[in-house]
Structure 1
Amino acid sequence: MLGSFRIRMLVVILIVMLVGLSVQSDHSSRYVIESVLNNYVLKDYGVETKLAMLLDNTRSRISDGDVPVMSHKEMQSPCDYLTVARRYGWNWNEESRRQEFYPGVLLIVKENTLVRPVLAGEVVEVSRQEDARTILIKHSPDLFSYYQGLQEVLVRENQHIDQRQILGKTGKNLYFELRDEDGPLDPHSLFP
């Protein structure tokens, strides 16, 4: 293993030397290397935005308690679940072969599992996406919860609901997201 590391390091040093010599010369390869460096080194990949979003959302990861909201009640899990298939935050995507930010939680559930709101609120939107139904609930002026993967919806838009109200029944999984005015929040305390 050590030998292969040394060889790889030597190859990297050699490539850096060749690139450096090529850039300093007037050879035509200089322009090719400069264009490649400009495209890959100077291109804005939005890393600053993603890092800022990650740092803003780490404040909710630091505490082991419930997500603070403007309510006297504690949040509850939206449903019984078998396992968490995908957690909030940065995850490796096998298809794209890169890290991607996942703004919610994907739960594996038994079919027809009852779903309840995490807090009391008002149903803002009931819609259909592909083969599943979605619900958006407003809990306070700046706190929303989003539920996707319902096969049956038992509430209607503009309906006021409490935590005991059944929103609907799931298919084989449920996507849940918690949002405020700045974007998605980490709901880890609801899914230990």
Structure 2
Amino acid sequence: MSKQNSIITSAATLFQQRGVNAVGIKDILTASQVPKGSLYYYFPNGKREIIIAAINDVGKDLCTNVAKQLQTSSDWDISFHNLISGMVESLQRTNCVGSWSLSLMVLETTQDQQLNELCHQIVVKLSNLYAKKLQSLSISSKLASRLGLIIQSNLEGALMTSVALKDSVPLLLIEKQISQLVRNVINEH
């Protein structure tokens, strides 16, 4: 892994574990094992520039993970189950949302318009991934878009609750509820 990638990956992990505001440059240097000079070579504007890179990196990983899981089957229940299983496995292994959530970064970047816009774009992309999958099941574009946002919102909440409780039950419950909702919508249309 390159020094630049090590910095981004380490920072993203720390931001997701502790929050953006609780992590300093020293923490990032320690976690990435990169010399201070290298950090400022790649990120001359310091922490803010690292935050931007970390949000982009987490967003890319998150969208890739979600898209990959949603493509595992043409059947909604199977692909959504695979998505939830990946989240549960990550939580059980690390008790951290890893590359499954942006929540903590979103909450701590609301006052910065550029950072908040980056998070906004990622949430829209995620909602659109769900909507695209739902459209493949013959759900109208308008309804699929609404459901995509509902799914994204519920998953973020379930992930945060699962982390707080150190228990995957909220994710498993939301899997059942969302799958039932999608089945109901399909049967009604």
Q: Under TM normalisation by the shorter chain, which class is it?
A: under 0.3
TM-score normalized by the length of structure 1: 0.22
TM-score normalized by the length of structure 2: 0.22
Larger Rg, first or second structure (1 or 2): 1
